[in-house]
């Protein structure tokens, strides 16, 4: 994963596969097909160039080359590759966007993804010290 030891993929939703519902695993997931559902909870997620997701994503790291419609909550970082197409919300402490990405939505970058960035910034602004 870009400068890190490559994570082993535990599960794959293949190119011609469609999965719906709620997906929760420990480890890594690569989506080359289509997933629509309530949520995906996984350690590491890679949305391949032909992958399509319409859901809420909860992960440590997320790499997107395909299409995501929904919310991405990443505890560590999100990589948006040149072919990524995002419609929704991204919450993460680190966001890397390459040239060519299409993104329409809201981005919150904070070391505390569990807290509202808006609240933290207002608290810092209103701090008298």
Handedness of CA 61, 97, 9, 41 (dihedral sign): positive
Distances (CA, A) of 14 to 21, 29, 48, 123: 16, 11, 10, 45
- Per-residue model confidence as pLDDT tens digits over 41-97: 999 999 999 999 999 999 999 999 999 999 999 999 999 999 999 999 999 999 999
Handedness of CA 36, 39, 42, 47 (dihedral sign): positive
pTM for the full predicted model: 0.86
């Amino acid at each position: 994963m870009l400068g890190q030891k490559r994570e082993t993929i535990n599960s794959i939703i293949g190119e011609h596969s469609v999965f719906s519902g709620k997906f929760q695993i420990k480890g890594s997931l690569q989506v080359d097909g289509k997933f629509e559902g309530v949520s995906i909870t996984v350690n590491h997620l890679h949305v391949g160039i032909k992958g399509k997701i319409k859901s809420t994503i909860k992960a440590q790291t997320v790499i997107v080359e395909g299409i995501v419609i929904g919310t991405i909550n990443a505890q560590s970082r999100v990589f948006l590759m040149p072919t990524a197409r995002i419609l929704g919300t991204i919450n993460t402490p680190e966001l890397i966007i390459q040239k060519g990405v299409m993104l329409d939505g809201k981005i919150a970058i904070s070391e505390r993804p569990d807290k509202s960035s808006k609240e933290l910034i207002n608290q810092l602004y209103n701090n008298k010290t």
